[in-house]
């Protein structure tokens, strides 16, 4: 195993909020990104990366790095690196039957 990856695992992971280490014997080290429903989104191999590159990647992905492992995480980073779910515009929201309502021309006022 790369000493760079080992240093990241032992010294840096405890500083990141919402970043967990799972040891899988014999597996190459990789970063596995999961959705809020724990569905796998992406796997990024780490074997050939330096500790600095891994730290940069994790921060670019939006993980919050604390000053110390026990430091409090600011409210705005509690769910980091999660991105807000895309919100549908009212005209794009599905109706109760699962169909998207018809779009109206700007000149029409169906609510009048």
Beta bridge pairs of residue 44: 31
46 and 29 Cβ atoms separated by less than 8 Å: yes
Whether pTM > 0.75 for this model: the answer is: no
Which pLDDT belongs to residue 95?
53
Question: Which of 24-28, 65-69, 81-85 has the least mean pLDDT?
Answer: 81-85
Q: What is the CATH number of domain 3-77?
A: 3.40.30.50
Convert the pLDDT of each residue in 70-111 to its tens digit: 999 999 999 888 765 555 555 555 555 555 555 445 454 444
Instruction: Determine the Cα–Cα distance for residues 80 and 61; give it in Å rounded to an integer.
Output: 9
Which pLDDT belongs to residue 112?
45
Instruction: Determine the Cα–Cα distance for residues 69 and 55; give it in Å rounded to an integer.
Output: 15
- Domain spans in the chain, listed from the N-terminal domain onward: 3-77
Provide the pLDDT confidence category of residue 5 given band limits of 50, 70 and 90.
very high
110 and 104 Cβ atoms separated by less than 8 Å: yes
Most distant CA pair in the chain, distance: 69
- Joined together, the tokens standing for residue 64 give 């919050």
Average pLDDT score over residue span 30-57: 93
Beta-carbon contacts of residue 73 (< 8 Å; ≥ 6 apart) = 17, 64, 66, 80
CA 94-95-97 angle, 5° bins: 110
């Amino acid at each position: 195993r790369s000493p760079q990856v080992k240093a990241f695992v032992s010294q840096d992971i405890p500083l990141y909020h919402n970043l967990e280490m799972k040891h899988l014997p014999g597996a190459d080290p990789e970063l596995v990104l999961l959705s809020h429903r724990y569905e796998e989104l992406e796997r990024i191999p780490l074997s050939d990366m330096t500790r600095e590159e891994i730290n940069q990647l994790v921060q670019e992905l939006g993980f919050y790095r604390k000053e110390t492992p026990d430091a409090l995480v600011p409210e705005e980073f509690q769910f980091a690196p999660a991105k807000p779910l895309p919100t549908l515009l009212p005209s794009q929201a599905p109706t109760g039957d699962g169909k998207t309502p018809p779009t109206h021309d700007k000149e029409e006022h169906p609510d009048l």
